[in-house]
Structure 1
Amino acid sequence: MKYFLTFTFIISAIFIKSQSKSELSELQVRYNFTFIKDTLDKNNSVTEPMILLTNGKKSVYYSEYYKASIDALNKQLEAPVNKGDIRTISLNGFPQAKVKHSVYKDQNDILISVFMRDLYTFKSSDILSWKISKKENKSILGYKCSKATVTVDNKNYIAWFTYDIPINDGPYKFRGLPGLILQVSEEHGYFNFEAISINKVKLAMDFKKGILITKDQYIKKRNEYIADPSQGKENSESYRRYVEENKKKSNIFLE
C-alpha cells in the first residue's frame, strides 16, 4: 500500500493542473486489456480497463483504474481541513491497478511512461509494417473490421480495424492502419486489447513525462526492479523467496 500511495502522488500530475494547455480529444475508446505474466500459467490472466483519448493527430492512453484512483485522491486533497488538523488520506476503496504504463502518440513520436520506483519515459522506435488482409472480416461493437498483422519485438500480433472510423490510432503504441484499431491480440494470447465502448467526447489529453531514458535503459531498470522491488529496504528470507518466485512468474513483457 505504501508504494501504491507514492505512485499515486507522482502519477497524478498526468491529469491535473494543465487542462487549459491541453489539446482536446474527439473520441474516447475504452479497451479491456487482458494479459498474463507467466507463459506457463495462461489460465491466470489479468484484465484492466484502459482509455484511449484521440483526435486523430494526437492521443493519450492510460489505465482507467489509475485515473479513477487519482480523481478520488484529488477529491480528498481538495476537501477543506480545519486549521490545526492533519489531513489524512485513505486508500480504502481505491481501484487497485495492475497496469503501470501510459502512452502518448503524435504524428512523429510514441512516448511510453512506466512507473517502477520512479516514473520513466522512453521513446518507442518501432516501425509497424502492417499486412492487411482483404478477405477476412468480423464485427466489433457493430463496426465491420478488417484483419491486419504485424511483428513487434519478435511478437506477432493480429489486429482488427474499421474503415468506418478513419482515425490512424489504437491501443498502446499500435497505430498506422487506415482506420481505428478495435482489437489487437498477440498470437499466443499473452496480450489482448479489445474495444468495449466508443464515445465522442471533448476531454483534455494530458501526458506526464517522467525521467527520460532509452528503451535499453528502461529494460535494465525493469529487470532491476523485478530483482528487488524494495530497493534494498527489505532482506528477509520470506522477501527473498517472494522475489525469486516473482522473477520466475514475470517472463513476458509488452516491451
Structure 2
Amino acid sequence: MKKILTLFFVTLIGITHAQKKQQTGDAYKITYLKSSNGKVTENQDPIIIFTNATETLLTSQNTIAGKNAFPYEQSLVDHLQNKYFQIGQLDKRKTVSTLDSISLPKQSFEITNETKIILGYKCQKAKTIINSNHIDLWFTSDLKIKGAPTLLGQNLGLVLEMNRNNNFVVSATKIEKLKKTEKFPTVKIENSVDLLSYRDLLWKSRFTTLKIFENEIINFSDAAKSNDSILRFANGTIILKKVKFPEIKSGNQIFIDLAEQSNGDAYDRTGSVFMIPANTKISFLDGLKNGVKALPIYENGNGKQYQGVVKTNDYSPLLELMRFFTPFGIKQYNHIQLKDKTWHEVVPYRQDISELHAALSNQEVWIGATIGNYDKGGHKISMNITIHNEENSTSKNNFLLPLFNTVNVMEMAGQEYGSMFNSEKGLLVEFTLEKDIKNAKLRYITTGHGGWENGDEFVPKKNTILLNEKEINSFIPWRQDCGSYRLFNPASGNFNNGLSSSDYSRSNWCPGTVTNPNSIDLGDLKAGNHSIRIKIPQGAPEGNSFSAWNVSGVLIGE
C-alpha cells in the first residue's frame, strides 16, 4: 500500500520525493534538546519538527543529515484529520509505516491558567498523566500553528516544552521560520501495516535473530530421523543444527529464547542447550556419530567410567549454554481440571549468555538441545538466539575454555550419569593455560538429581570448588520458589498434605524453569598447569534409586 502525502522542504533519508506542491501559510522548523535532572543530555540527536497550520513532521538532526543508525522513526501528523503516520526505516532498503487515526483525539489534558515565556512566546501549561507519569506541556498559540516534539499534545498548539515528573525535559532551543519561496515536496509512505505489526517489525529490527529450532520434536523413538538441517541422535532425544554466527562485538548482549510443550511426556525432565567445541582432535560429535565409546573416559576410583565429561589435551567437553527443566506435561495434559487452575499452554525460557560471546562470534558451530525422556511423543521446542547491540559498553572477556560437563545428554545412548561425587575425589579437571589470564571466572551450573525422598534432588548439598587444591568457593544450590510455577504443571501429582510435586523445593531447579549459572571469581591465573576439583557429598543409593549431579564449568577471562 502506498500513500502520497505532503512534507516540508527537507531532505529525508529513506523517503522518496514525488511531485512538489505549493503550500500556503507560514511554516517553521523547531529544534529541541533533552535534559535530565537539570543537565542537558550529552551527545544527543536533537529533535527537529517541521510544522505549519495543517501538518507536522517529527524527525531528528541525524536523520536529516543521513547519519542515523538503523532503525529510526519519523512521524507525520495531519492536524485537519486528527491522524498520524509513523514511518520506520528498518534498514537501507526497507521502510514500514502505519496510520493511527484514534490516538490523537483521545488525548486528554487539563488546561491551567499558568503561563511563562519561552523563546519570546507566551506559553500556557497543560497537564496530563500517562502510565503514572505526570507530564506538563507548555504550548503557545501565538504562531497559529500546531506541533510538538512527541506525538503527545499535537493539537494543543505549538508545544515548546515537555516536562515529565520534573526530572526529564524536552525544550525548544530554536524556532526558524521557513522562507515563503520554499516548496513542500510530496512523499510516498510504503508498506503500510496495522499499528501492532508496525511496532513488532520495528522492535525486531533492533536486534539480530537466529532461528535455531522451530516446532522440533525431542522424543524417544526408533523412527526419529535426521534431515538436511536437523540431525537427531540417541533415538531422537538430541537434536543438532549447524549455525553461523555473525561477528558479535564485545559488550553486545546475547539471549537464548526457548519455548517448550509436552508432546506426550508427562514428567519433569532435564534439558540442556549446548555448543560442540571443535578445536580439538576429538569432539563430542564423534561420540554422537560413533557412540559413547569414542569419547575419552574419566575415572576417579569409584569403579565407574564417565564418558566425555572433562577436558583433555585432545578433547573439549560440551559448552553448556543453558540448563532448563520441563514441567509436568504442559499443553498435552491441560485437560486435567482443577478448580481455580487455568494451565499455561507453553513454558518460555529466556537466558542471557553474553559472557559466552568469545565462543560464538563469527563462528560456524553445532548448536544442540536435549531433553532426557523415554516417551514416544516426547516434547516440542522452538528456539531462537538473539544478538543485541549495546552502546558504550565493552567486555574485556575474550578468553573462554570449556572445562567439564557431567550432563549425560547421551543418556539414551548409554552415557553414564554424573555420579562421580560419591568418591572423595569428586570431579577433577586438569588444564594448561598458554598465557596469563586476568580476572578469571568459572561459569558454573549445578543441579542435583535423585527423585525419591532422600535423593539429592530433595536434600540440600554443599558444592565445594577447589582451584589448584585450595578451596575457593562453596555454597548450597537450592531453589525454594518452585511453587510459583504450578500453572505450568498440569500433570504434577497432588499429595495428601495439600502440596503438588512441582511445589517442592529442589537442588537448584524447579519444573518449568531455567537454572542460572554461578559466576565464581578465580582471580588472575598464570600461564601453566592448573586444576579445578568439584566436591559434593552425594547421597548413597537406596535400592534401585541413586543420586547424581549435573555440573558444567567454563573458564572465562581476559
Q: Name which of 123, 126, 133 aligns with 1:145.
A: 123
The amino acid that maps onto 2:45 is: E
Deviation at 1:59, TM superposition (A): 2.6
Q: Is the 8 A contact 2:76 2:85 kept in 1?
A: yes
| Paired position in structure 1 for 2:175 | 197
Q: Distance in 2 between matches of 1:153 and 1:181?
A: 21
Pick one of 168, 172, 191 that aligns with 2:146: 168
* Contact 2:162–2:170, Cα closer than 8 Å, also in 1: yes
Query: Does the residue aligned with 1:213 lie in a helix, a strand or coil?
Result: coil
Please give the secondary structure, in 2, of the residue aligned with 1:211.
Answer: coil
Identity of aligned residues (%): 18
The 5 A counterparts of 1:204-219 are 204=184, 206-219=186-199
Which amino acid in the other structure matches residue 34 of structure 2? T
**CA apart distance, 1:141:** 0.4
From 60, 74, 79, the equivalent of 1:63 is: 60
In the TM superposition, residue 147 of structure 1 has moved relative to its aligned partner by 0.9
Seen in structure 2, the aligned counterparts of structure 1 residues 43 and 67 have a Cα distance that, compared at 3 Å, is closer
Q: What's the offset of the Cα at 1:65? A: 2.6
* Contact 2:161–2:169 under 8 Å retained in 1: no
Summarize the Cα distance change of 1:151–1:211 in structure 2 as closer, same or farther, 3 Å threshold: farther
**What's the offset of the Cα at 1:152?**
4.8
**5+ unaligned residues in a row in structure 2: which ranges?**
1-11, 213-242, 255-353, 355-386, 392-558
**Structure 2 residue matching 1:112: 3-state secondary structure:** strand
Q: Which runs of 5+ in 1 are unaligned?
A: 1-10, 37-41, 70-94, 251-255
Cα offset, 1:12, TM superposition: 3.5
**Distance across 2 between alignment mates of 1:100 and 1:229:** 18
Alignment of 1:99-178 (within 5 A): 100-106=72-78, 107-108=80-81, 109-117=83-91, 118-124=94-100, 125-126=102-103, 127-134=106-113, 136-152=114-130, 155-174=133-152, 175-177=154-156
Check the 8 A contact 1:31/1:50 in 2, yes or no: yes
Relative to 1, partners in 2 of residues 1:61 and 1:43: Cα closer, same or farther, differing over 3 Å?
A: closer
Instruction: Give the letter aligned to residue 196 of structure 2.
Output: D
Separation in 2, partners of 1:230, 1:110: 34
Q: Which moved more, 1:113-122 or 1:233-242?
A: 233-242
The 1:113–1:158 alpha-carbon spacing in structure 2 relative to 1, beyond 3 Å, is same
In the aligned structure 2, how far is the partner of 1:170 from the partner of 1:189?
19
For residues 27-80 of structure 1, the C-alpha deviation after alignment (integer angstroms, 9 at most, x for no partner) is: 2232224389xxxxx9976522333222211232322332233xxxxxxxxxxx
Letter in 2 for 1:169: G
Looking at structure 2, the residues matched to 237 and 97 of structure 1 have their Cα atoms a distance apart, in angstroms, of 18
Deviation of residue 148 (structure 1)?
A: 0.8
Structure 1 residues 184 and 13 mapped into 2: Cα distance closer, same or farther (>3 Å)?
A: same
Q: Residues of 2 paired with 1:201 and 1:192: CA distance?
A: 26
Aligned to 1:4: none
- Is 1:62–1:103's contact at 8 Å kept on the other side of the alignment? yes
Does the residue aligned with 1:51 lie in a helix, a strand or coil? strand
- The equivalent of 2:472 in structure 1 is none
Partners of 2:32 and 2:136 in 1: CA distance? 16
Runs of 4+ in 1 over 6 A off after TM superposition: 229-234
In structure 1, the residue corresponding to 2:252 is in which secondary structure? helix
Q: For the Cα contact (< 8 Å) 2:148–2:159, is it kept in 1?
A: yes
Q: Would the alpha carbon gap of residues 234 and 102 (structure 1) be closer, same or farther in structure 2, given more than 3 Å must change? A: farther
Give 1 or 2: higher helix fraction. Answer: 1
Give the length in aligned residue pairs: 207
Deviations 1:165-186 (A, max 9, x none): 2323323323121x32112233
Q: How does 1:7-18 map to 2 (within 5 A)?
A: 12=13, 14=15, 16-18=17-19
TM-score (norm 1): 0.63
Provide the secondary structure at the position in 1 that maps to 2:45: strand
Q: 1:110 to 1:234 in 2, by over 3 A?
A: farther
Q: CA deviation digits over 1:63-113, x for unaligned, max 9?
A: 2332233xxxxxxxxxxxxxxxxxxxxxxxxx4568822121112211111
Q: Distance in 2 between matches of 1:205 and 1:230?
A: 40
Cα contact 1:116–1:225 (8 A) shared by 2: yes
**Which is greater in Rg?**
2
Q: Which amino acid aligns with 2:193?
A: I
Amino acid at match of 1:64: Q
TM-score normalised by structure 2 residue count: 0.32
Asked whether the equivalents of residues 104 and 110 of structure 1 are also in contact (C-alpha less than 8 Å), the reply is yes
Q: Distance in 2 between matches of 1:195 and 1:60?
A: 17
Instruction: Give the distance between the partners of 2:14 and 2:247, measured in 1 at CA.
Output: 37
Are 1:128 and 1:176, in contact at CA under 8 Å, matched by a contact in 2? no
In structure 1, how many angstroms separate the alpha carbons of the residues matched to 2:136 and 2:200?
A: 28
